[in-house]
Amino acid sequence: MGQKPWDGRFSQSTDKMVERFTSSIDIDKVLYNCDIDGSIAHLKMMANQSIITQNEADTLLKGLEQVRKKIESKDFEYSDALEDIHMHIEKALGDEVGEVAKKLHTGRSRNDQVALDVRIYLKRETEAIMNALFSLQRVLVQTAQKYIDVVMPGYTHLQRAQPVLFSHHLMAYYEMFKRDCERFEDSIKRTDVMPLGSAALAGTTYPLDRELTRKLLGFSKVSDNSMDSVSDRDFVMEFISCASIAMIHFSRLSEELVLWSSSEFAFITISDAFTTGSSIMPQKKNPDVAELVRGKTGRVVGNLMAILTIMKSLPLAYNRDMQEDKEPLFDTVNTLKACIDIYSKMIPNIEINQNNMLNAAQKGYLNATDLADYLVVKGLPFREAHSVSGRAVAFAISGGAEGGQSKELHELSIDELKQFSDLIDGDIFDFISIEKMLSRRVTHGSTSYANVQKAVEVASKRLNLK
Ligand code: ARG
C-alpha cells in the first residue's frame, strides 16, 4: 500500500494543509471500538462466505485485537495523513500482520463503514443515556416522596397562582424525563439498522452475507437500500432532537433552581459542594451547576441546528459534508450525559426551605379561585363567582374596610366578605384554607395529597424503588 489508499490514480501527493483540513481523526478516534467490532464481524462473515480463508481471518482478527490493545494503552500514533479512525486502524493492522491486512477492506467502503460505526456508537450511547435518565427519575421520585406534603405556590406567568405540593411540582419533571426516555427508546428503532454491505453506494459484487453480519453485531435489521444506507443521518438528527428536548427540560428545571435559590425566593438551599463562590464578593454562593446546565442547552440545540444544516440539500449518496456529523453528535452525547449525572447527584443535596414555601403559598390571593368555587358550590354560575371573588381581591388589596396595608382574602372578616355575596358564610375560612384547597383537587393528575402519593407510588413501582 502506498501512502494513501487512493494513490494509484494520483500523481501528486496531498497538500499538507489539505491533510490537516480534511482530517477528522481528532474527533472520530472515539469510534475505535465500534470500528474494530464492525471489522471483526465483517471478517468472520467473509471467512464464512469463503471470500477470504479462515486462516486469513484468524490472523486479521488477532491483529485487530492487538490494534485495540495498542489504542487502549495509548501506545498509538495518530496522524492527519491517515485522515480518520478507519484508515488508522487499517494501517495499524498492516503493521501488525503485514500484507494480508489489505484484504480487510474487501466488499466494503468507508462510506458504509462509517455509517456502521456511528450506528454502533449511538446504540450504545442511547442505552447509556436511558439508564442515566432512569436513575435521575429515581432521584426525583425519592425526593418527591421525602417532601411529599410540602406546600408551595404554583405559578403561571411566574405569578403566584394556586397552592400545589412541592412533590407534585417535582413529579412534573419526572413525567418529562420519562417521556424523554420513551423518545430515546423509540429512536433506537431507527438507529438499530445494519448498513454494512452497502459499500460505496451501489452495493457490492462480493457474495456478502449481510444477515450474518447483522447477527454478529446484534442489530435488529439490515438496511434495505444501499444508497440510503450510506447517506442517511436521520438517526443522528433524531437523536439530537430527542436530546434537545431533554435539554430543554433540564433548562426549565435549572431556571427554577436558580430562581428558588435566590434570596428573593429562598425556597431551596443548594449544598456548598454544588455551588461556587465569587472571586470578589465574599458573600456570594452561586448556583453555577444549574446555570451551566441551562447554558449547555444552547450547545445541544446548536448541535441540532448544525446537523440539520449539514444534511440540508445534500444530493445522494455520501458527501464529505457528512464527516461533520460527528462533532455535534459526540458533543450532544457527552453534554447530555454530564447534565443527567450531575443533576442525579445534586438533587439529593438540595435543602428544601419548607416554611418559606408555605409562607409564599399563603400570600398573593392563591385562594381566589377557591372563593369562586365556594360560590359555585352555593349555586352561583362560575363567571359571576369569578367576578365576586375578583372584587373581594381588589378590596383586600386596598386593605379592606379600614384601608391601608393590604390583606389576604382569609384575613378579611366575615362581614367584609359578606358584602360581596350573601352566599358567603363562616365556613368560607375553612374552605379556602391551603389544606382544603389541596385536598379538593382530586381529579386524576391534580395536586391533592392522595393523588400525589398515588403518583409517587406508581412511579416508585415502575422504577423498582419498592
Ligand atoms: N471520515 C469520513 C466520514 O466520517 C469517512 C468516510 C469517508 N468517505 C469518503 N468517501 N471519503 O465521513
Alpha-carbon span 453 to 438, nearest angstrom: 13
CA of residue 308 to ligand 1 center, whole Å: 18
Architecture of the domain spanning 361-449: Orthogonal Bundle (1.10)
| Atom 2 of ligand 1, nearest CA residue | 323
CATH, range 111-201+222-354: 1.20.200.10
Partnered with residue 19 across adjacent β-strands are none
Ligand 1, closest atom to CA 110? 6
Q: Residue 163: what residue type?
A: P
Strands 193-194 and 221-222: parallel
Residue with cell 405540593: 165
Tell me the H-state helices in 155-233.
Answer: 166-191, 210-217, 226-231
Strands 221-222 and 159-165: unpaired
Catalytic positions = 157, 278
Contact predicate 316/227, CB 8 Å: yes
Longest Cα–Cα distance in the chain: 100
Architecture of the domain spanning 16-106: Orthogonal Bundle (1.10)
Ligand 1, closest atom to CA 318? 10
Return the H-helix or E-strand segment holding 315.
none
Least Cα distance to 462 among 118, 178, 101 occurs for: 178
Q: Would you list the DSSP string of 259-309?
A: HHTSTTT--EEE-GGG-B--SS-TT--B-HHHHHHHHHHHHHHHHHHHHHH
Alpha-carbon span 27 to 164, nearest angstrom: 47
Least Cα distance to 22 among 70, 67, 79, 63 occurs for: 79
Least Cα distance to 194 among 103, 86, 112, 129 occurs for: 112
Query: What does the domain layout of the chain look like in residue ranges?
Result: 16-106, 111-201+222-354, 361-449
Lining residues, ligand 1, CB within 6 Å = 24, 28, 84, 110-111, 114, 318, 320, 322-323
CA of residue 411 to ligand 1 center, whole Å: 72
3-state secondary structure of 363: coil
Q: Which of 314, 320, 322, 324 should be mutated for ligand 1, with most atoms under 8 A from CB? A: 320
Please report, in tens digits, the pLDDT of each residue of the chain (466 residues total): 356 787 787 888 889 999 999 999 999 999 999 999 999 999 999 999 999 999 999 999 999 999 999 999 999 999 999 999 999 999 999 999 999 999 999 999 999 999 999 999 999 999 999 999 999 999 999 999 999 999 999 999 999 999 999 999 999 999 999 999 999 999 999 999 999 999 999 999 999 999 999 999 999 999 999 999 999 999 999 999 999 999 999 999 999 999 999 999 999 999 988 988 878 887 888 999 999 999 999 999 999 999 999 999 999 999 999 999 999 999 999 999 999 999 999 999 999 999 999 999 999 999 999 999 999 999 999 999 999 999 999 999 999 888 899 999 999 999 999 999 999 999 999 999 999 999 999 999 999 999 999 999 999 999 999 7
